[in-house]
Amino acid sequence: MSNYVFPPAPQAAVPVQGSSQHYAVRRIFCVGRNYAAHAREMGADPEREPPFYFNKAPAHLVLSGASVPYALGTQDLHHEMELVIALGAAAFRATPAQARECVWGYACGLDMTRRDLQGEAKKAGRPWSFGKDFEQAAVISPLRRASEIGHPARGAIQLSVNGQLKQSGDLSDMIWSVPEVVANLSAYYHLGPGDLIYTGTPEGVGAVQPGDVLNGRIEGVGEIALTIGAPQ
C-alpha cells in the first residue's frame, strides 16, 4: 500500500543513443545569452560578463520527434536551438578542468520560449519563469556519451523551420565554454548526475506557427525534430 496521497509522477528521463538505458533527470538549468550575436539581437551587450541562468522543470521535457500543441498563453512562441550538457559526476566549486570531467554526455535541445511573456517580464524586472518554463518547453534529443563523441568545442549548430534555415552558428561561438559554464554554476549549486544544462542559442531565433516542422542538428552530437500542433 502506497504512503503517497497521489501516485508519484513518472521519473523524467532521456533515452541514451544506441542503448536501452535512460538518463534520469533531476534538474534543468539554462544559460541566457551565451552567443554574442544572439545577445545583440535581443538588445543586450555581449561583453563577457558572468553567465546567468534560469530553470525549466523536468516535467516539461519532451523528446525529439514529438508533436506538441502551440503553447498556452502566448501569441509569440519562439525556437532556440541549443547544445545540452548532461552531468554524470558531482561538481561543486569545480575548476573548468575538473568540471569537464563531470560531463557524462551531450544532446541537442530546443529551449521553446513564450517571447511576449518573457519581454513583459524583462520590462517589469520580473523573473522569466512564465516565458521560459512551461509545459513541453524543454525539447531534447537522445543523449550521446562523452566517452563516445568526446567534448565538442566546435561544430555547426543549426535549425531549420519547414526546410528553411533559420539559425546557424558554431559551438566555438559560445561566450562561455562547456567547462566554464559547469564550473561557474557549481559555485552556486551542488551539481551532479541528473542535471541537464542548456547552453544558450545562436542568432536567428524566431516565431513558430501551428503546422511548423522544426529540424535541428549539431555536428558530432545529433539531430532533433519537433512539430508544432494546433493550440488547445
What pLDDT score does 2 carry?
Answer: 78
d(CA 229, CA 232): 9
d(CA 214, CA 227): 6
- How many Cα neighbours within 13 Å face the side chain of 64? 21
Residue-number span of the structural domain to which 205 is assigned: 13-229
Would 102 be classed as within a structural domain? yes
Average pLDDT over every residue of 65-87:
98
What pLDDT score does 40 carry?
Answer: 58
Cell of 195: 542535471
Would 6 be classed as within a structural domain? no
What pLDDT score does 44 carry?
Answer: 59
Would 32 be classed as within a structural domain? yes
Count of the separate structural domains present in the chain: 1
Would 18 be classed as within a structural domain? yes
Would 106 be classed as within a structural domain? yes
Q: What is the DSSP letter of 176?
A: S
Query: Which pLDDT tens digit goes with each residue over 32-59?
Result: 889 876 555 555 566 667 888 999 999 9
* 84 in Cβ contact with 196 (< 8 Å): yes
What pLDDT score does 14 carry?
Answer: 98
What pLDDT score does 33 carry?
Answer: 84
Average pLDDT over every residue of 197-224:
97
What pLDDT score does 155 carry?
Answer: 97
169: nearest Cα among 37, 49, 77: 37
What pLDDT score does 43 carry?
Answer: 57
Chain centroid to CA 3: how far? 35
Would 5 be classed as within a structural domain? no
Number of CB atoms found within 10 A of residue 129's CB? 15
Query: Which pLDDT tens digit goes with each residue over 149-196?
Result: 999 999 999 999 999 999 999 999 999 999 999 999 999 999 999 999
Average pLDDT over every residue of 1-26:
94
Residues, the chain: 232
Residue 147, domain CATH: 3.90.850.10
Question: Strand order of the sheet with strand 206-207?
Answer: 113-114, 77-79, 206-207
Would 36 be classed as within a structural domain? yes
Would 103 be classed as within a structural domain? yes
